[in-house]
A and B are shown apart, each in its own frame.
Chain A
Amino acid sequence: MTATTEPPPPAKAPGESRLRRTFSALGAAQAYIGLVLILAVGIATKGEVFLNETNLTNAVGAFASRGILAVGVTLVILTGGIDLSVGSLLGIASMTAAMMLSKYSLEPWQIVPICMVVGGLFGFLNGAGTAWLRIQSFVMTLAMLSVVRGLDRQVSDNVSVGTQIAGPDGKLTPQAEAFQLFGTPGHNLFDRIYYPVLAFVVVCVVFHLILTKTRFGRHVYAVGGNPTAARLSGVNVTAITIAVFTLSGMLAGFAGPIDAAYSASADPQAGQSYELDAIAAAVIGGASLAGGKGTIAGTFVGALILTLLDNVLGLNAVSDNWQLVIKGLIVVVAVVLQRPDLFKFFRGGSRS
């Protein structure tokens, strides 16, 4: 509508509007509906086994590191980019954590910042390549995925590094004991709070606030929505781009120790294909790969859906192979539900 502006043709006849409105509402709330559906299936099929604190905590704990990756990926997607390297970054961060623990006996509170610096550094390179060298982020982060995975395998000699290190007395060293709090099942903060769940929720809250309440958040949406308009409005598009990739890398670094503690070791293959779960969570939550559209709340719900899906299917002894198939289908359904206009196909309506 550059010039004469008739109202943009919403391409629907009055008779169809109620159906359409229903689907529009679904589009906005589809993630929540999906969540409720999965909970219902879980309760219906497994009842108490599904709906108890231990099971749910474990389920979220198993997915927490991917959920944290999803938050970082959401930031990048909001600017219109994509980050395929987060799985590899998580891998090298978990390896870093395990090595810091086993070789240098560092305290857990020292390990986390180191991992975040490592992840942030690679993330910064992603951003620099994208913003300065103008490499498409898909390509840049695909390359990073490969490079970092290679480095991870090289430094570890292709051998996984355990985090349950025994001292001379045969018991776990104090550092290793403390490290378990990062997510080894059965180890809770204050005997109550499972750290991965807490970390995931805190990360979501913090980044939700950053995106909705700060100038930086506004600029992220502006860069994704229309980079030219953003630049002409005084937004430093280059800096925002580099920042979101760096933050995504730092979050991957932050998730590394959690993954290492959960598996009680850092595997050279750790985090492989996590990027796909992270992207799926963002997309199910309503983020658009075109940029400018999406929320952390959506990603949070998207991650929960994937988490509980894994759990419910696992409890019902659905094989891994079928789990993958179902996960893929759910992504497609979620995206279709966000696009009510697609339903015109089924009604044979006009496309304009």
Chain B
Amino acid sequence: MTVLTMRAIGKSFPGVRALDGVSLTVAEGEVVALLGENGAGKSTLMNILAGVFKHYEGEIEIGGRVAHIHSPKDARRHGIAMIHQELNLVPELSIADNIFLGRERAILDRKAMEARTAELLRGLGLDLSPRRLIKQCKIAERQLIEVAKALSQNVRVLVMDEPTSALADAEVRRLYTVIRDLTGHGVAVIYISHRLEELEEIADRVVVLRDGAYIGERSEVDRDELIQMMAGRPLGELFPRADGGGSGEELLKVEGLSVPGEPGSGRTPLREISLSVRAGEIVGVAGLMGAGRSELLESIFGLHRPTAGSMSLGGRPYRPRRPKGAIRRGVALVAEDRKAQSLVLGNTIAFNASLPSLGRFLRFGTVDARREHRAVERQVNELRVKTPGTRFTVGNLSGGNQQKVVLAKWLLTSPSLILMDEPTRGIDVGAKAEIHALMSSLAAGGKGVLVASSELPELLAMCDRILVLCEGRITAEFSREQRPTQEAILEAAMARQKVTTL
């Protein structure tokens, strides 16, 4: 039984034809995946469905009747809920308050709100108090809270825009259970994701868009074919790293490092971490949400004060007290959240890219703008950032290009050790492959790379060694020669973990 039909949908932005005659039908209880590179039109199509745009071409039918959807309110009335990529939660309010935001009774019935919230959270396997403030929740938890919010309403069609981009594999499983439960109750799910391996598992049908047009659909997921459909050209090997590397000298050595957590912020304490990174080596850090992956990288970057342990870099003691000290010693951190942690979105590419390396461009105490722009331009071209120029505002670039600007910024500091936290999160396959190629060439150039990722296939393909973190401890280490499986890594990642049962 068809629940949703979108017919010949079109949408133009100034200078861009974002969508052109795209049609989509979804049946009750079906999971349809939308696939396409950045700018393919997936988000535009879904934003139209969610009522974000007032004007568009084409027609939408819900349950066989024409539905006029021109505002988020219209969409809600028709039982359409969308979980946006950029989470829409109020940090200073509690989980329960957020879930009922805009639908509260005039006089709040907190008890009922909290009871219902607790029920929803339990259904998602989240062990959180409904009174917890959003700002105390991690990104992955927030994502699941968004799901809970959508579920709290009467949904017929649930749109999820990259729901797993912030989740580690175990949380993804949990989300799948939830999705299957929903479809079992007749809810239709439209699922946008860049992770092809997920679609195989969760999607009944994959619809591919490219440049705002419908390209085709498949009910069998064939990786190579789908990538070809998305890109319009064969992409070759997704993860280009060849064997070998990592025979260089020891670059970073961490011994018995302990870093306290921070109550309230949800920061995981690190306990007696020992590791090393050699020149020319790519070392991966795996672990579930809250395992301390980001905390580890941040501590090496001098953001948190350790209480015990020592580090050395290039054979000399290394005790960074703040990022500035780390940068001076040739350490770079490509942070997890590029918008919140890495970029001044309202400023230009050049401004952002030269920020940590401005010292290089000083002449008589002033910044030599010409030299700066030349250096930035060279780096930006090398990374193939698609932009009209170095004076272009970073906030207007696509996610993949923004991430490249972040990389350019750190490469301009000529680092010897590069820490990367989720370097390919939420960017399209093409940019992802380029970043992987960059990591390989950095390692080949004798730099050390320590990369944390929640995508195990990425780590397995790229890394010479993989460290597995669980609750702030290293629970396993695998070398490439051991040929670890995803299962083995997951097992280590869950070692001694109190498993939240559904």
Q: Which A residues are closer than 8 A to B by beta carbons? A: 1-14, 17, 209, 213-215, 218, 221-222, 225-226, 228-236, 292-293, 349-350, 352
B55 interface residue (CB < 8 Å to A): yes
Are B13 and A1 closer than 8 Å at their CB atoms? no
Give 15 new A-B contacts, CB below 8 A, not counting A228-B340, A233-B409: A2-B425, A4-B42, A4-B162, A4-B426, A4-B428, A5-B399, A7-B39, A17-B14, A213-B366, A222-B355, A226-B345, A229-B344, A231-B322, A234-B356, A292-B346
Q: Give min CB distance, A183 to chain B, whole Å.
A: 31
Chain B residues proximal to chain A, CB less than 8 Å: 12-14, 16, 18, 36, 38-44, 47, 52-55, 70-71, 85-86, 161-162, 165, 192, 194, 301, 303, 322-324, 326-328, 333, 335, 337-347, 351-352, 354-356, 358-359, 362, 365-367, 395-400, 402, 409, 425-428
- Give the distance in Å from the alpha carbon of A168 to the alpha carbon of B342 in the complex: 67
Task: Give the CA-CA distance A215 to B324 in the complex, in Å.
Answer: 14
- Compute how far the CA of A218 lies from the CA of B54 in the bound complex, rounded to whole angstroms: 40
Q: Is the interface of A mostly helix, strand, loop or mixed?
A: loop
**Distance in Å from the Cβ of A163 to the closest Cβ of chain B?**
37
Most buried by B among A17, A214, A229, A293: A229
**A234 touching B345 by the CB < 8 A rule?**
no
9 tightest Cβ-Cβ pairs between the two chains A and B: A3-B426, A225-B344, A5-B398, A350-B54, A213-B366, A234-B324, A233-B356, A234-B327, A233-B355
A-B contact pairs, 11 of them (CB 8 A): A2-B85, A4-B42, A6-B39, A6-B42, A215-B362, A215-B365, A221-B344, A221-B351, A225-B345, A350-B55, A352-B53
Q: In the bound complex, do residue B359 and residue A215 qualify as a contact, i.e. CB atoms below 8 Å apart?
A: yes
Q: Kindly list chain A residues whose C-beta atoms are within 8 Å of the C-beta of B367.
A: 213-215, 218
The CB with the most chain B CB atoms within 10 A, among A5, A10, A17, A215, is that of: A5
Q: Give, as a whole number of angstroms, the nearest-CB distance from A317 to chain B.
A: 44
Given A218-B367, A229-B342, A352-B53 in contact, is the A7-B359 Cβ separation under 8 Å?
no
**Most chain-B Cβ atoms within 10 A of its Cβ — which of A10, A232, A292, A350?**
A232
Closest chain B CB from A233 CB (angstroms): 4
Interchain CB contact under 8 A, A13 and B346: no
CB B433 to nearest CB in A, in angstroms, measures 16
Interfacial chain B residues near A352, Cβ < 8 Å: 47, 52-53
Determine how close the nearest CB of chain B comes to the CB of A17; give it in whole angstroms.
5
Closest B residue by C-beta to A221: B347
Question: Closest CB of chain B to A238's CB: distance in Å?
Answer: 9
Chain B residue nearest in CB terms to A348: B54
* Chain B residues, CB < 8 A from A2: 85-86, 162, 165, 337-339, 399, 425-426
A5 CB → nearest B CB, Å: 3
In the complex, are the beta carbons of A232 and B323 less than 8 A apart?
yes
**Interchain CA distance A232-B298 in the complex, whole Å:** 9
**Nearest A residue to B335 by beta-carbon distance?**
A232
Q: A350 vs B53: C-alpha distance in the bound complex, in angstroms?
A: 7
Residues from chain B with a CB closer than 8 A to the CB of A230 are: 344, 355
Partner of B52, one of A5, A9, A235: A9
A3-B52 contact in complex given A12-B14, A226-B345, C-beta closer than 8 Å:
no
Contact of A232 among B41, B165, B301 (CB under 8 A): B301
Separation of A239 and B236 alpha carbons in the complex (Å): 49
How many whole Å from A154's CB to the nearest CB in chain B? 40
Do A229 and B343 form a contact, CB below 8 Å, given A4-B194, A349-B54?
yes
Nearest A residue to B139 via CB reads: A2
A243 CB to nearest chain B CB (Å): 15
Complex Cα–Cα for A10 and B351 (A): 23
State how many angstroms separate the Cβ of A122 from the closest Cβ of chain B.
Answer: 27
CB-contact partner of A236 in B324, B337, B338, B398, under 8 A: B324
A216 nearest CB neighbor, chain B only:
B365
CB distance from B5 to the nearest CB of A (A): 22
Please measure, in the bound complex, the distance between the C-alpha atom of A13 and the C-alpha atom of B36, giving whole angstroms: 25
Beta-carbon nearest neighbor of A218 in chain B: B358
Q: Return chain A residues, CB-CB under 8 Å to B53.
A: 9, 11, 350, 352
For the complex formed, measure the closest distance between the CB of A254 and the CB atoms of chain B, giving whole angstroms: 22
In the bound complex, residues from chain A placing their C-beta under 8 Å from that of B365 are: 214-215
CB atoms of A234 and B39 under 8 A apart: no
Residues A7 and B13 in contact, CB atoms below 8 Å apart: yes
Contact A215 B344 (CB under 8 A): no
B85 touches A3 (CB 8 A): yes
Known contacts A221-B347, A229-B344, A350-B53; A6/B192 CB under 8 A: no
B355 and A6 contacting across the interface, CB-CB below 8 Å = no
Please tell me if the beta carbons of A293 and B346 are within 8 angstroms of each other in the complex. Answer: yes
Instruction: Kindly provide the distance from the CB of B36 to the nearest chain A CB, expressed in whole angstroms.
Output: 8
Bound form: Cα–Cα A4–B352 in Å: 21
Distance between Cα atoms of A164 and B486 in the complex (Å): 86
Residues of chain B lying within 8 A (CB to CB) of residue A236: 322, 324
Distance between Cα atoms of A332 and B492 in the complex (Å): 60
Q: How far is the CA of A214 from the CA of B192 in the complex (A)?
A: 44
Closest to A349 in B: B54
Asked if residues A4 and B192 are in contact (CB atoms below 8 Å), the reply is yes
In contact, B13 and A10 (Cβ under 8 angstroms): yes
Residues of chain B within 8 A (CB-CB) of A8 are: 395-396
The CA-CA distance from A4 to B71 in the complex, in Å, is 22
Which residues of chain B come closer than 8 Å to A235, judged between CB atoms? 324, 355
Which residues of A have CB within 8 Å of B326? 234
Collect the chain B residues with CB atoms within 8 Å of residue A293's CB: 346
Chain A residues near B86: list those with CB within 8 A: 1-2
Partner of A6, one of B12, B43, B344, B425: B43
What residue of chain A has the Cβ atom nearest to residue B427's Cβ? A3
Please give, as numbers and ranges, the residues of chain A lying within 8 Å of B47 by CB-CB distance: 9, 352
Distance of B143 from chain A, by nearest CB (Å): 11
